[in-house]
Structure 1
Amino acid sequence: MAPKKEYKDLRSARWFAPDDLRSFGHRSRAMQMGLDSEDWEGKPVIAIINTWSDLSPCHHHLRDRAEYVKQGVYQAGGLPVEMPVHSFSEQFLKPTSMLYRNMGAMEVEETIRAHPVDGVVLLGGCDKSTPALVMGAVSAGVPFIFLPAGAMLRGNYAGAKLGSGTDVWKYWDERRAGTIGKEQWDGVQGGIARSYGTCMTMGTASTMMSIAEGFGLTLPGASSIPAPDAGHKRMSKACGRRIVDMVWEDLTPDKIITPASTRNATVVAMATGCSTNAIIHLIAMARRAGIDWGLDDLDAVGHEIPVLANIRPTGKEYLMEDFFYAGGLPALMKELGDKLDTSVVTVTGKTLGETIADAQNYNDDVIRPLSNPVYHQGSLAVLRGNLAPDGAVIKPAAMDAKFMVHRGPAIVADTYAEMKKIISDPDYPMTPDSVLILRNAGPQGGPGMPEWGMIPMPQALLKDGHRDMVRLSDARMSGTSYGACVLHVAPEAYVGGPLALVKTGDIIAMDIPSRTLNVEVSDEDLAERRKAWVAPEPRYERGYGAMFSKHIEQADKGCDFDFLTTDYGAPVPEPEIN
């Protein structure tokens, strides 16, 4: 693509080019860092937004990868500047990394807007980092490209292939059931995460990296390369080279993130057997771009698109490393054929069709054809009813099929601590038909909507050999999880949603084929219960938490801050250089 911009048109030129006092200061301070005019004159400044930290095992290699991105930027004639942002450490950040997704998105947006930056390479991949980076960069509006961190190597213990997260839940249930001992548990602990990189199942991290590629925001195949693979270093350099060209071409995010590419990203998500978290993040990312995309759109795609990626937890055998060897996401998109709009433009400057034209599927058991899917419909389903008027989410592809239509009595817990007591009591009165309900764990109630929705199986049922049951909450669950878990019930109980009115013993009726979720209590009785309901005390009274509580939207709207969407006020102007 022919260049559209000249040096005088670049954002960074506003800082460095004028012959005035303020630009003198900018140039002299750049020289203070060892730069000179040859570094910035006639060249775009490329920010490398890095989520590396010493407490982020998923991103622990990104400090090194930033150096490879810099090489690529230099090779293409740009000036790279590395800029750190929040690390989104999924494992160590409490009470939940979801509490900080929007804070990170704000940091990314303001970091880009406030500095002399012409283009951006975003380095991330662990669960909330991908949507946060993309949301912030979309709002900033400068050309950007996303470099996925990549999945870790597959785990190993005693000759068994381990998948992070998914096998943790499985072995933990067996430990609590008494079928394995501490030695085996410790062996799994030491073998399940063998390298840097994100979870190697199709959890939230791999889902969101795939969605970014589905949007056209990565170079072809970038989302599937394992983090330790040498190809990841080469991809890093390629991103550095490409972003320089994107700046000259003025290939801004509004030309890539469109209604058509949003649908493509959703199709890709469903075909991969995606995390339930994908729904919240997809909605938030689309709304940042001014695209009206909601639960009904996602559910419609879910009805149409089968699961093709035979990767845990939806698949039974393979992991992301196998997916990469089989051809990765380009091969899966090629298998999807006309389910995708291949006319959309990607960060390559070419159409999606052009970028996947030569993709090949090297293992049709890992990446299934449309004629032999892993699951006949998409990974996720949206349920509605008097218990979830604004929607709830379930992953039928990763649960026992006997729960597709289910009625059972509720066992209600108002806090996670209360639920832990219930599931830890081997004599708690319940049956396999019981429905465990955890409430006050949503966006405001959690706070931050923690991943408490994958409620462990109760010991009262484990001892009898049961390994799945219906569990329901206004929380989220890890994308590596599985089971008959109804999640994201909206509105949440903490703000007075119908979930707040349910009592232990009420009959819960779920019909996934009909997409319904109801509590079998009359409207009159629910109205009487509402009169008696008392709102809980605020979770926060100061600081970021107070701002979060005031402005966070519900799950069906993507849990973004209301003031960050495109329909809230005028666009933010470019900063004055004075």
Structure 2
Amino acid sequence: MNLRSKQWFGKTGKDGFIYRAWMKNQGIPDDYFQGKPVIGICNTWSELTPCNAHFRELAEFVKKGIIEAGGFPVEFPVMSLGETLIKPTAMLYRNLASMDVEESIRANPVDGVVLMCGCDKTTPSLVMGACSVDLPTLVISGGPMMKGKFKGKEIGTSDVWRFAEAYKLGELTQKEFIEAEACMARTPGHCAVMGTASTMATMVEALGLSLPQNAAIPAADVRRKVLAQESGRRIVDMVREDQKLSKVLVREAFENAIRVNAATGGSTNFVIHLLAIAGRIGVDLHLDDFDKFSKSIPLLANVQPSGEHFMEDLYYAGGLPALMEQMKEYLHLNIKTVNGKTVADNIANSPIYDDKIISTFDKAFKKDSGIAVLRGNLAPNGAVLKPSAASKELFKHRGKVVLFENIEDYHARIDTPELDIDENSVMVLKNVGPKGYPGMAEVGNMGIPKKLLEKGVKDMVRISDGRMSGTGFGTVLLHVSPEAAAGGPLNWVQNGDFISIDVENRSINWEVSDEELAKRKQAHPLQAPKMDRGYVSLYIDRVQQADVGADMDFLVGGSGSTVTRDSH
């Protein structure tokens, strides 16, 4: 077994002395440095990342498994991205966190890595960074929180949007709002619905990067700790087998993940993160692949926001293996996963225990699922929509634009009585893309104006170059590319223009002539965003567009696990 860590701990003389001696001040026995595989535990624990606040305890179970299997565990922190607190948006720092992960792994004496992920951006950032180094790697997610209880009803994160509308209409008092906060987030873990965090946990299991059942075991369930311990055992064997990330993340694994995302009603954020991961590992994946490979897959998981139930229920109903077993005809079954078994092995004989939560393929909850990619003169490089969370009656729609130049403009005018808007209007929000926000915030599912809520309007066509929370829903077209701030056509849309969408035919049409567009460009030249210093300046200059994953252009493609020079 050719261990990378030997280039540190196997050295003789002064360098070896320094590498081992300072590690020994932690009470590590000498035999740990004599050929044991060194396993890095990449931990995103932080009290500023509430979803991951239980990771200190979870890491101890990973360590137990590593030691049992004859490995040497070393836990290290990396930048943690707490979706609920970070401003302006955690997405701005996804690429920065991935750089932290990549360089922390490459620069240190580790032979394999366990990635501890939970909150939305921690999963893609850790996987992206690990892909750029390409060591044996396994993911353990933190798990969803238990479903909440409020006024006798089960609640989860998707209810935040419903509570906000009820509060706006005076149907929910401030006191009740505060009460609901404590009722919803009542255990450790990330969002209890199929939001972005659960979508990412589902993604890594579907890709074969985690042990089976990783996606849905609740954070508070002791079986999450058992999974962590088993993951610790397995990563040691992966090092012995030299099972690198590139051996798991083959093209067929990405196709499986796209289809599973469709069947589970996963977040639109899945698109931007999977594209970035593919870019790092060198798999040729394109935006249209998400439409192509999800088109024939119905919704099999009755989980919010596309359905009615919660991730906890999905686990009790059989978890992801039971769901994948129902769609096995559409999956690549013979590819290897991190546990050394094939997809077929991992899902074989996985029964459904509750058909109200997981359906069979021929009795699916909804026909329309997956990711629809719309193109047209407003979005030459594409825009995405989640059919399972949208209103079917709006799949074909033409309406007059009500424009918001940026998020501040939206907040200032959305509930003003003079806003000229009706239920047939198309709400358009500019300058919330990768460069424009910067960071591409989750503001695309704009709230319905109060005066329309009072009329009973529940959904409208909404278009932006931003993202939306995976817990959100509605007929929302997102990730318009190129974005306004990069000189995309969206930059020159005006109030009163007409836009039509046709989801069935995958089209989005902005009714403006070439001559009129040329006039607008001349009258209003593009004002590219600028920042004078630091990471944000680098991000604006080098971030790619949403249709290719919004990674930094200089990070695409891995550079391997080359060991740097001795510094002593």
Cα pair distance change 1:524/1:572, threshold 3 Å: farther
Are residues 1:196 and 2:188 paired? yes
Q: Is the 8 A contact 2:161 2:472 kept in 1?
A: yes
The answer to whether the Cα contact below 8 Å between 1:435 and 1:471 also exists between their aligned partners in 2 is: yes
Alignment counterpart, residue 205 of structure 2, candidates 210, 213, 235:
213
* Structure 2: distance between partners of 1:537 and 1:521: 23
**Bigger CA drift: 220-229 or 533-542?**
533-542
User: Offset of 1:307 from its aligned partner?
Assistant: 1.2
Contact 2:205 2:212 in 1 (8 A): yes
Equivalence for 1:251 = 243
What is the aligned partner in structure 1 of residue 518 from structure 2? 527
For 1:111 and 1:35, the matched residues in 2 are separated by: 21
Which residue of structure 2 aligns with residue 576 of structure 1? 565
Partner of 1:305: 297
Q: In structure 2, what is the Cα distance between the partners aligned to 1:396 and 1:237?
A: 38
Which residue of structure 2 aligns with residue 494 of structure 1? 485
* Aligned partner letter, 1:573: T
Q: Using the alignment, how far apart are the partners of 1:119 and 1:533 within structure 2?
A: 53
Distance 1:201-1:118 versus aligned 2 partners, 3 A rule? same
SS at match of 1:288: helix
1:541 to 532, 539, 555: 532
Superposition deviation, residue 221 in structure 1: 0.6
Tell me whether 1:355 sits opposite 2:335 in the alignment: no
**Partners of 2:259 and 2:370 within 8 A in 1:** no
Deviation string 1:129-172 (CA, Å, 9 cap, x unpaired) is 111111111111110100011000001101101011x1010111
Q: How many residues align?
A: 567
Distance between the aligned counterparts of 1:390 and 1:43, measured in 2?
A: 49
How far apart are residue 537 of structure 1 and its match?
Answer: 5.2
TM-score by length of 1: 0.96
Counterpart selection for 1:27 from 15, 20, 27: 20
Query: More displaced, 256-265 or 415-424?
Result: 415-424
Does the aligned pair in 2 maintain the 1:428–1:460 contact within 8 Å? Answer: no
Are the aligned partners of 1:424 and 1:458 in contact in 2 as well (CA < 8 Å)?
yes
The partner residue of 1:95 within 79, 88, 97 is: 88
Q: 1:294 to 1:100 in 2, by over 3 A?
A: same
How far off is 1:549 after superposition?
A: 0.8
Partner residue, 1:408:
399
8 Å CA contact retained: 2:402, 2:420: no
Deviations 1:197-244 (A, max 9, x none): 010110000001100000000001111110000001111111111100
2: CA distance between counterparts of 1:50 and 1:430? 47
- Partner SS state of residue 271, structure 1: helix
Residue 396 (1) aligns with residue 387 (2): yes
Distance in 2, matches of 1:533 and 1:571, equals 45
Match of 2:166 among 174, 180, 184: 174
Kindly provide the amino acid, as one letter, of the partner of residue 183 in structure 1.
K
- Residue number among 365, 377, 394 corresponding to 1:374 in the alignment: 365
Q: Pick from 337, 340, 352 the counterpart of residue 331 of structure 2.
A: 340
Q: CA contact under 8 A between 1:149 and 1:198: conserved in structure 2?
A: yes
2:291–2:370 CA contact under 8 A, matched in 1: no
Q: Which amino acid aligns with 1:250?
A: D
1:290 aligns to 2:265 (yes or no): no
> Contact (CA 8 Å) 2:485, 2:528: kept in 1 or not?
no
Contact 1:445 1:539 in 2 (8 A): no
Q: 1:377 Cα deviation (Å)?
A: 3.2
- Equivalent position to 1:138, from 125, 131, 134: 131
Structure 2: runs of 5 or more not aligned: none
Matched residue, 1:129: 122
Q: Structure 1 residues 540-549 or 34-43, which shifts more?
A: 34-43
Counterparts of 1:367 and 1:182, CA distance in 2: 36
What SS class does the counterpart of residue 122 from structure 1 fall into?
strand
Question: C-alpha distance in 2, partners of 1:37/1:358?
Answer: 45
> Which residue of structure 1 aligns with residue 456 of structure 2?
465
- How far apart in 2 are the matches of 1:418 and 1:492? 17
% identical equivalent positions: 44
Instruction: Confirm whether residue 451 of structure 1 aligns to residue 442 of structure 2.
Output: yes
Q: Give the equivalent residue in structure 1 for 2:72.
A: 79
1:525 Cα offset (Å): 1.1
Distance across 1 between alignment mates of 2:392 and 2:171: 25
Question: C-alpha root-mean-square deviation of aligned residues, in Å?
Answer: 1.3
Aligned amino acid, residue 101 of structure 2: V
Question: Amino acid of the residue matched to residue 262 of structure 1?
Answer: F
State the distance in 2 between where 1:187 and 1:57 align: 19
**Alignment partner of 2:309 out of 306, 314, 318:** 318
Equivalence for 1:3: none
Matches of 2:349 and 2:14 in 1, distance apart? 53
Shift of 1:364: 1.4
Partner residue of 2:272 out of 272, 277, 280: 280
Q: 1:262 matched to which residue of 2?
A: 254
For residues 239 and 539 of structure 1, what CA distance do their matches in structure 2 show?
Answer: 44
Q: What is residue 117 of structure 1 aligned with on the other side?
A: 110
> Aligned-pair distance for 1:427?
4.2
